Chains A and B, each alone.
Chain A
Amino acid sequence: MRKEIFRMERVSYQENGIMMLEDFNLNVMEGEIMGFLPVNSYGMSAFLRLLKTNLSLEDGHIYYHEELINSWKESRRNNNRITVIQNRSCLVEGMTVADNIFVLRQGFKKNLIQPAVLRKQLEPFLQDIGVNISADAYVEKLSAFERILVELLKGIVAGHRLIVLCETSTLISGDELRKLHHIMHHYAGQGYAFLYIGSHYEDILQICDRAVLMSNGRIEKVLQPREMFAENLLCAQEYDKMVRGYLNDKRNNVKLGKQACAFYGEIPLMKDPLRFQVLQGECIAIQCLNNRIYHDMCQILLEEEQAFHWHLSMEDRGEKIQGNRKAAVIQEQCTHTMLFPELNYMDNLCFNLDKRMKNVWLTGNIRKSIRQEYGKILGEDVFATPIDELHERQKYQLVYSRILLQKPKVVFCIQPFKGADMQHRMLIWELLEQFLERGIAVVILAVNLADTLSLADRLICLDKGKAQKEYSREDFASIPVLAPWLYLYREEKREKE
Chain B
Amino acid sequence: MEQIKRFVKKFRFISYRVAFLYMVIVIFMMLQIGYQFHLLVQGLAPLWPLITMTLATVLFLLYVFGRIAAPYQRSEKFVRRFLDGYVMTDFKEYQLPLLTPNTEMQLEKMEQIFHSPKVFDLNKRQAQYLALQNQINPHFLYNTLESIRSEALIAGLDSVADMTEALATFFRYTISKVENLVSVEEELENCKTYFRIQQYRFGSRLQMHIDYREEEWEEIIHCRIPKLTLQPILENSIIHGTELKIGTGNLRIQFERTERRLIIRISDDGIGMDENTLLELNKKLRKDSSAVSYQQSETKGGIALANVNNRIHLIFGEEYGMHVYSIEGEGTDVEIVLPAIMSDREIKNRGIFQ
Chain A residues engaging chain B, CB cutoff 8 angstroms = 1-4, 9-10, 22-23, 25, 27, 29, 59, 61, 66, 68, 72-73, 219-222, 224, 232, 234
CB contact between A10 and one of B74, B215, B321, B329 (< 8 Å): that residue: B321
Q: A1-B219, A9-B337 are in contact. List 5 more A-B contacts (CB 8 A).
A: A2-B213, A3-B258, A23-B323, A66-B260, A72-B77
Is there contact, CB below 8 Å, between B258 and A66? yes
Q: Verify if B94 is at the interface (C-beta below 8 Å from A).
A: yes
Write the chain A residue with the least CB distance to B209: A226
A1 to B86, alpha carbons, bound, how many Å?
33
Interface hits, B272-322 → A, CB 8 Å:
279, 282-283, 286, 319, 321
In the complex, the answer to whether B261 meets A220 with C-beta atoms within 8 Å is no
Per DSSP, are chain B's interface residues mostly helix, strand or loop, or mixed? Answer: mixed
* Contact across chains for B286 and A23 when beta carbons are under 8 A apart: yes
Assuming the A-B contacts A3-B259, A25-B323, are A59 and B286 also in contact, with contact meaning beta carbons closer than 8 angstroms in the complex? yes
Residues in A with CB closer than 8 Å to B216 are 1-2
Tell me the complex Cα distance, A369–B288, Å.
Answer: 57
Are A1 and B259 CB-contacts (below 8 A) given A25-B335, A221-B330, A224-B254? Answer: yes
Chain B residues near A61: list those with CB within 8 A.
319
A59 to B282, CA, bound (A): 13
Q: Are A222 and B261 in contact (CB-based, < 8 A)?
A: no
B257 within 8 A of A: yes
Complex Cα distance A224/B331, Å?
Answer: 13
B258 contacts A222, CB within 8 Å? no
Contact A220 B260 (CB under 8 A): no
B81 contacts across to A, CB distance below 8 A: 59, 72
Measured between beta carbons, the chain A residues less than 8 angstroms from B86 are 59
Contact assessment for B330 and A23 in the assembled complex, using a CB-CB cutoff below 8 Å: no
Which residues of chain B come closer than 8 Å to A27, judged between CB atoms? Answer: 263
Say yes or no: B337 contacts A220, CB within 8 Å.
no
Q: Inside 8 A of A232's CB, which chain B residues have their CB?
A: 330
B214 to chain A, nearest CB (A): 12
Residues of B within 8 A of A22 (CB): 279
Q: Does B165 contact A (CB under 8 A)?
A: no
Question: What number of residue pairs across chains A and B have CB atoms under 8 A from each other?
Answer: 64
**Given A9-B319, A10-B321, A59-B86: A220 in contact with B259 (beta carbons within 8 A):** no
Q: Which of B216, B257, B258, B333 has the largest number of chain A CB atoms within 10 A? A: B258
- Residue B233, interface by CB 8 Å: no
Which residues of chain A come closer than 8 Å to B333, judged between CB atoms?
221-222
Residue in A closest to B340 when the chains form the complex, CB atoms = A1
Name the distance in Å between B87's Cβ and chain A's nearest Cβ: 11
- Give the 10 A-B CB pairs with smallest separation, nearest first: A4-B258, A23-B282, A66-B260, A25-B323, A221-B325, A66-B259, A1-B257, A221-B327, A61-B319, A1-B216
User: In the complex, what's the smallest C-beta–C-beta distance from B318 to chain A, in angstroms?
Assistant: 9
Give Cα distance in the complex from A461 to B301, angstroms.
58
The chain A residue sitting closest to B282, CB to CB, is A23
Report 27 cross-chain contacts, Cβ distance below 8 Å, ordered by A residue. Answer: A1-B215, A1-B216, A1-B257, A2-B216, A2-B258, A4-B259, A4-B261, A9-B319, A9-B337, A22-B279, A23-B279, A23-B283, A25-B323, A25-B325, A59-B81, A59-B86, A59-B286, A66-B258, A68-B319, A72-B77, A219-B325, A220-B325, A221-B325, A222-B325, A222-B333, A222-B335, A224-B265
Q: Which residues of chain A have C-beta atoms less than 8 A from B329's C-beta? A: 234
Smallest Cβ-Cβ distance to B254: which chain A residue = A224
A10 near B323 (CB under 8 angstroms)? yes
Quick one: CB contact mask for B90-112 with A, threshold 8 Å, 1 for yes?
A: 00011000000000000000000
B94, A73: Cβ atoms closer than 8 Å: yes
What is the CA–CA distance of A2 and B94 in the complex, to the nearest angstrom? 31
Interfacial residues of chain B within 194-233, with CB under 8 A of chain A in the complex: 213, 215-216, 219
> Measured between alpha carbons, how far is A4 from B258 in the docked complex, in Å?
6
Contacts of A219 in B (CB 8 A): 325
Cα distance A78–B77 in the bound complex, in angstroms? 21
Instruction: Write out, one digit per residue, whether chain B residues 32-49 have a CB within 8 A of any chain A CB (1) or not (0).
Output: 000000000000000000
Closest residue of A by beta carbon distance from B287:
A59
The answer to whether B330 and A234 have CB atoms under 8 Å apart is: yes
Q: How far is the CA of A61 from the CA of B323 in the complex (A)?
A: 14
Chain B residues whose C-beta falls within 8 Å of the C-beta of A4 in the assembled complex: 258-261
Task: Specify the chain B residue showing the minimal Cβ separation from A56.
Answer: B77
Asked if residues B261 and A66 are in contact (CB atoms below 8 Å), the reply is: yes
Chain A residues with CB under 8 A of B337: 9
Query: Which residue of chain A lies nearest to B77 when distances are taken between CB atoms in the complex?
Result: A72
Using Cβ atoms and an 8 Å threshold, which residues of chain A touch B282?
23
- The digit string for B71-85, where 1 denotes a CB below 8 A from any CB of A, is 000100100010000
Chain B CB count within 10 A is highest, among A4, A22, A68, for A4
Contact of B258 among A1, A9, A68 (CB under 8 A): A1
Closest B-chain residue to A224, C-beta based? B254
A115 to chain B, nearest CB (A): 41
Residue of B nearest to A66 (CB): B260
**Residues of chain B within 8 A of A68, CB atoms compared:** 319
Q: Which residues of chain A are within 8 angstroms of B74 by Cβ–Cβ distance?
A: 73
A10 near B327 with CB under 8 A, answer no
Chain B residues near A220 (CB, 8 Å)? Answer: 325, 327
What is the CB-to-nearest-CB distance from B216 to chain A, in angstroms, rounded to a whole number?
Answer: 6
**Chain B residue nearest to A67 in the complex (CB):** B260
Report the nearest B residue to A232, measured CB to CB: B330
| In the complex, chain A residues whose CB is within 8 Å of the CB of B219 | 1
Q: How far is the CB of B90 from chain A (nearest CB, A)?
A: 10
Closest to A235 in B: B327
A73 proximity list for chain B (CB < 8 A): 74, 93-94
Instruction: Tell me which residues across on chain A come within 8 A of B279, comparing CB atoms.
Output: 22-23
User: Are B327 and A234 in contact (CB-based, < 8 A)?
Assistant: yes
> In the complex the two chains form, what is the Cα distance from A22 to B260 in whole Å?
25
Complex interface: chain B residues within 8 A of A224 (CB) = 254, 265
B350 → A minimal CB distance (Å): 16
Q: What's the Cα separation between A336 and B268 when bound, in Å?
A: 42
* Chain A nearest Cβ from B325, distance in angstroms: 5
Residues 226-258 (chain B) with a chain A CB within 8 angstroms: 254, 256-258
Report chain A residues within 8 Å CB of B265.
Answer: 224
A89 to chain B, nearest CB (A): 34
User: Smallest Cβ distance from B44 to chain A, in angstroms?
Assistant: 45
What are the residues of chain B within 8 A of A72 when measuring CB–CB? Answer: 77, 81
In the bound complex, how far is the Cα of B321 from the Cα of A68, in angstroms?
A: 16
> In whole angstroms, how far apart are the Cα atoms of A10 and B261 in the complex?
15
A118 to chain B, nearest CB (A): 35
CA separation between A220 and B332, bound complex, in Å?
A: 10
Given contacts A219-B325, A221-B325, A221-B330, contact A10 B286 (CB under 8 A): yes
- Chain A residues near B321: list those with CB within 8 A: 10
CA distance A3 to B216 in the complex (A): 12
Scan residues 146-164 of chain B and give those whose CB is less than 8 A from a CB of chain A.
Answer: none
Report B145 CB to chain A, min CB distance, Å. 38
| A473 → B minimal CB distance (Å) | 33
Interface string of B174-192 (1 = CB under 8 A from A): 0000000000000000000
A29 and B94 within 8 A (CB):
no
Closest A residue by C-beta to B78: A73
A211 to chain B minimum Cβ distance, whole angstroms, is: 13
CA distance A1 to B214 in the complex (A): 10
| A65 CB to nearest B CB, Å | 9
Q: How far is the CA of A4 from the CA of B263 in the complex (A)?
A: 11
